[in-house]
Structure 1
Amino acid sequence: MGGNNPLIVEDPDDIDAAVHLTIQSAFITAGQRCTCSRRLLVKRGAQGDAFLKRLVEVSARLVPAAWDADPQPFIGGLISEQAALNVLKAWQDHVARGAKTLLEPKQVQPGTSLLTPGIVEMSGASNVPDEEVFGPLLCVWRYDDFDAAIAMANNTRYGLSSGLISPHREKFDQLLLEARAGIVNWNKPLTGAASTAPFGGVGASGNHRASAWYAADYCAWPMASLETPTLTLPETLNPGLDFTGGDRHESA
C-alpha cells in the first residue's frame, strides 16, 4: 500500500471548496494516510493561480499541536521526530533539484514531531524520485490540457489513489477509464476510503485485488465440499442400476 498519489485540479467553480478538499486529501492526519495526495496537478491559467494562492494562504494557518490542545488543531504530530525530519529532508532535496517553495514546512519545536505543512512547486525541478513522502508535504505540478494531466497522474510506479476536482463529468469519465489506480474519486477527498468498499491498488501499491473486507476472498482457499457422517444406499436408484440379490453388510 501507499503511493505517490495525484490529485488533479481542473478549473473548480468554488475555489474555497477545492482548497478544503485538497487540504483534507493532503494534510489530514499530518499526511500520514496511505491514500493522501502527494502530487497536486493544477491547470495553468488564472483559475489555477487563484486556487494555488488560496491553498497556500489557508494551509499556512494550519498549526499542529497535541491531541488535547485547546483550541483543537486540524493536525497533530507525525509518528516520531525522525519522521518529521525525514519530511524536512525530502523538502530540502526537492529545492536542491530546482523546486520552488510556496509554503515552507517547519518543525514547531525541536525534539517534537510537530511539523507545519509544506507546499512546493515542482514544474522546474529535475530528476525527482518517484517516492512517497509520508507526511504533510504536497508537490505541485502545472499542466496545459487534461490529457497531459492524466499522463502526469499515471507517471508513477505506484497506483493506489487518484482524484479529480472539476465541475465537468466528462473529465471524470475519462479519468475513470484511463487512471492507473485502484481508488479514483471525483470532487471527494482521496482520504477516507471505507473498509466496506473495495480498497487496493496497482503497481507498487498492490496487486489490484480489493482489500478491506474483500481481502477474505483472496486470502482464503476456495474449496467445495459435500459431507455426511453416514453412508447408505439410496432409497431410489438411478435408472439402469440393479442391486437385487446381494448381501447387505451393515455395521451394528
Structure 2
Amino acid sequence: MTATTHEEWLSRAKALELPGEHLIDGADEAGGGDTFSVVSPRDGRVLTEVADGGAAEVDAAVAAARRAFDTGPWPRMAPGDRGRLLVRIADLLEEHRSELALTVSLEMGKPITDAHDIELRAVINTFRWYGQLADKLTDESPHTTPDALALVTREPVGVVGAVVPWNFPLTLAGWKIAPALAAGCTVVLKPSENSPLSALLLARVALEAGLPPGVLNVVNGDGPTAGRALGLHPNVDVLAFTGSTAVGRHFLHYSADSNLKRVWLELGGKSPNIVLPDAPDLESAAATAAWGIFFNQGEMCTAPSRLLVHTSIADRVTEAVVERACSLRVGDPLHPATEMGALVREHHLARVLDHVHAGSEGGARLRTGGVRTRTESGGVYLEPTVFDQVPPGSRLAREEIFGPVLSVLTFDDVDEAIALANDTEYGLAAGLWTSDLSTAHRVSRALKAGTVWVNCYEEGDLTVPFGGMKQSGNGRDKSVHALEKYTELKTTWIQL
C-alpha cells in the first residue's frame, strides 16, 4: 500500500532496509572492503555505507556478464521468453514501487510524489514496453539475384557497460538495461555514487523475477575509478553513458585506448524554450516554462533553462514565471505536497550558486531566488531562481547549470529566435509556442535539437526516440531505435 501522508513516509523511511554491496553474478559481493557513504541531501545524514568498487570488481562483473553471454541461456532464449521475463520485472517493480520511490527520494532529493508517480511509472513502463516488443522484431531478406538468398539479421552485441547519473537513477538505468536485455545482451551497470541504492534494488528485483545470474550486474564506485575501468575494459562490447559532456569525452578516449568499443552518449543540454506572440495560451506557456525548469530541482539535461520570449510579451510572460517561482513549495522531499526538493549534494549547490553569482555580476537582473533555503534542515535546498535581461554571451545563457535557475532572453523576430536558440554547443531539446502551423514546422526544422516540443514540454512516450545533436551526444534511448545500440547487423549470402 502506498503511503499518503508525510508521517507515513517518514515511518517507512525509518524501517527501510538499504543494500550496501555490489551485485555480481547473481550474488551480493563486498569487494575489497572499501566503502563510501551515501548521504541524503534531504537532511545531510548518512543513509548507509556502500561497497566501493574499482578495477577488480569491474573485472569480476564483466567476467560474469561475459560468461552469461557466451555460455548462458539468456542470449539463446526465444525472444518471447526474454520478453515475458522483462514484463515480470515490470510487475515486480510495481509491487516494490513505494520502497523504490522512497529510496530514490532519500538518496537524491526528488519529491516523493514525483519519485512515486513519475520516476517509477517511467521505469515500470520501460521494462514492460521492451518486454512486449521483444518477440515482434523482424529481420530482412532483401530481393537480390534469382540464384541467391540474402539475409540481414540483428544479433546481440554482447556485454554492455552502462553508466548512469543520479538525477533519474531508475528511469535512465531502465532506458539502457531494458532494450539491452530485450536484444539478448548482458549488462554491467555503474550507477552514480550519489544514487547507487535504487540501482541495487532494481537489480535485486530483476533476480527475483528470474533473470539468470550474470545477466545484470551492478558495481558501485566513482567515475574516475569504476567508470574508467568499465570504459577501458577490453571485454565490454558497448558502453552506454548518460551524464555530462566533459565525462562523455573521457569515454570516447577510453574506447580509443582499449578495444574501440562503441560508445553511445546522452550528454548535457542548454535547451531553449521559445514563446512567440501568437502562442495559443500565454498563461499555459509561462506555467509550463516554470514547471520545466523547476521540476526535479532543475536537475535535468532537457530542462528549458533558456526562456526566449518575444519583446512584445516578455514582461507579461516573465512576471507570470516569477509569480509561479515565488509560490513554489520547496520542502522536505518526503512530504507529499513538496513541489521542489533538495539538490543532490553540497558541492553541486556550490556550483549552481557560482553561476547565480556570475549572473548577477555579469549584467543579468535577478528577479527572484538565488538564495539557499531551509538551512535548519541540514539539507541542500535552493530557492527557485529567475534572471531576466540575460546577455546572450553570458555564462547564464551558455553553460549548463543543472539547477533551478532560469535565464530569460528576448528577441524581435522569428529568425532572431532561431539564431539565439541554436547559439549553443548543445542540441538536446527545445520548446516552441505558436498557433501558426507553418511557423511550427519551419522553426522545428530549423532548431538543432534531438527533440522539439510544440505547445508543450517534456511530453512523449516510449514509442519515440530520445537523444541529442552536437555536443549533446549520439544515439537514441527509448523506442525501437534504442535496440540499434545493442545489436550488430549481420549479412548472410547464400548461393543457391
- Aligned partners of 1:226, 1:143: CA distance in 2, in Å? 57
Aligned residue for 2:472?
Answer: 205
Alignment coverage as a number of residue pairs: 224
**Which residue among 258, 263, 268 is the counterpart of 1:2?**
268
Tell me which amino acid in the other structure corresponds to 2:281: D
CA contact (8 A) 2:392 2:420 kept: no
1:146 equivalent to 2:414? Answer yes
CA contact (8 A) 1:183 1:201 kept: yes
1:60 equivalent to 2:326? Answer yes
- Partner SS, residue 63 of structure 1: coil
**Which residue among 20, 23, 26 is the counterpart of 2:293?**
26
Aligned residue for 2:484?
Answer: 217
- TM-score between the two structures when normalised by the length of structure 1: 0.81
Tell me which amino acid in the other structure corresponds to 2:367: L
1:14 equivalent to 2:281? Answer yes
Identical-pair percentage: 28
Moved over 6 A (4+): none
CA contact (8 A) 2:355 2:395 kept: no
- Aligned partners of 1:79, 1:117: CA distance in 2, in Å? 15
CA contact (8 A) 2:270 2:301 kept: no
1:97 equivalent to 2:362? Answer yes
**Which residue among 448, 454, 458 is the counterpart of 1:180?**
448
- Partner SS, residue 212 of structure 1: coil
CA contact (8 A) 2:392 2:409 kept: no
- Aligned partners of 2:346, 2:328: CA distance in 1, in Å? 18
- Aligned partners of 1:126, 1:4: CA distance in 2, in Å? 13
- The one-character-per-residue Cα deviations of 1:155-203 (angstroms, maximum 9, x if unpaired) are 00000001112222222111121110000110111x3543431111111
Tell me which amino acid in the other structure corresponds to 2:318: L
Tell me which amino acid in the other structure corresponds to 1:25: G
- TM-score between the two structures when normalised by the length of structure 2: 0.43
- Following superposition, the deviation at residue 212 of structure 1 comes to 2.4
1:77 equivalent to 2:342? Answer yes
**Which residue among 463, 466, 474 is the counterpart of 1:196?**
463
- Partner SS, residue 138 of structure 1: strand
Structure 1 or 2: larger helix share? 2
Structure 1 or 2: larger strand share? 2
**Which residue among 372, 375, 383 is the counterpart of 1:116?**
383
- Following superposition, the deviation at residue 31 of structure 1 comes to 0.8
Structure ID, larger Rg: 1
- Following superposition, the deviation at residue 38 of structure 1 comes to 1.2
Gaps of 5+ in 2: 1-266
CA contact (8 A) 1:63 1:116 kept: no
- Partner SS, residue 205 of structure 1: coil
CA contact (8 A) 1:97 1:125 kept: no
CA contact (8 A) 2:287 2:320 kept: no
**Which residue among 311, 316, 321 is the counterpart of 1:50?**
316
- Partner SS, residue 269 of structure 2: coil
- Aligned partners of 2:348, 2:406: CA distance in 1, in Å? 16
CA contact (8 A) 1:154 1:179 kept: yes
1:135 equivalent to 2:403? Answer yes
- Aligned partners of 2:332, 2:464: CA distance in 1, in Å? 32
CA contact (8 A) 2:293 2:305 kept: yes
Moved more, 144-153 or 79-88: 79-88
Once superposed, what is the RMSD of the aligned Cα atoms?
A: 2.1
